[in-house]
Each structure stands twice: as structure tokens, then as C-alpha cells.
């Protein structure tokens, strides 16, 4: 929030059937009118700090491959969360022959 205005959303999710030390960054969205002002960096740091406080040891993010997602991959790399894997996606994307989830990972 900025004053009384909601300018974005962030979230964590944990698969109860997965390893207890793993958590996934679920959402990061900032209102376009407030982008490029550092709010994504602040939100991401808050998200990682919250994951640590909750006792998680591994933080994951998944992003589609493709040119439109390159800014997000670069952003997370800058935040210290580099790409650590790639999985073929089960989601069919009409504009690509093959689509992948890029897995980004960081120890907490």
C-alpha cells in the first residue's frame, strides 16, 4: 500500500505434499502507474524476509520462457535468485512450438 492505495500484490505458497523447507514466490504484481520506482524490489525483499521468518530454507519461482518474460528473469537474477533449472511446460502456448518453465531458486 502507498497511503491508502493498493499498488500491488505479493504472495507465498507452499505445497503441503512437498518438502517442508520449500516455498514458492507466488505473485508479484505492481500497478503499471507505479512500476520502475523500486516497489518490486521492496516487495520481493519483503517476500523473501517473510519466507525466512516462517522458517523456509529454499525459495523457488517459476516463470515461462520466452522474450516477454526476459525482464522478469533479469529482475529476479538481480535480486539474487538466479535460474537453476528448466522444465518442459504442460501448458500449450499457441505462439511457441515448445514452452518451458524456468525454475529460479535461492537458499534462504
63 with 101: CB under 8 angstroms?
yes
pLDDT tens for residues 1-45? 788 999 999 999 998 888 999 999 888 899 999 999 999 999 999
27 - beta bridge partners?
Answer: 11
Q: Model-level pTM?
A: 0.77
**3-state DSSP assignment of residue 17:** coil
Question: Does residue 97 have a pLDDT over 60?
Answer: no
pLDDT tens for residues 86-96? 777 666 656 55
- Topology of domain 8-101, CATH: Aminopeptidase (3.40.630)
Mean pLDDT of 74-87: 84
CA distances from 14 to 11, 51, 59, 60, 69 (A): 10, 10, 10, 10, 23
Question: Does residue 72 have a pLDDT over 90?
Answer: no
Locate the domains of the chain by residue range: 8-101
Amino acid at each position: 500500500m502507498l497511503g491508502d492505495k493498493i499498488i500491488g500484490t505479493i504472495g507465498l505458497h507452499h505445497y503441503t505434499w512437498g518438502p517442508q523447507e520449500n516455498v514458492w514466490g507466488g505473485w508479484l504484481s505492481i500497478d503499471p502507474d507505479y512500476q520502475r520506482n523500486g516497489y518490486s524490489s521492496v516487495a520481493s525483499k519483503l517476500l523473501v524476509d517473510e519466507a525466512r521468518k516462517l522458517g523456509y530454507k529454499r525459495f523457488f519461482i517459476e516463470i515461462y520462457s520466452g522474450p516477454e518474460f526476459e525482464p522478469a528473469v533479469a529482475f529476479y537474477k538481480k535480486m539474487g535468485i538466479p535460474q537453476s533449472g528448466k522444465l518442459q511446460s504442460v501448458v500449450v502456448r499457441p505462439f511457441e512450438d515448445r514452452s518451458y518453465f524456468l525454475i529460479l531458486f535461492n537458499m534462504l
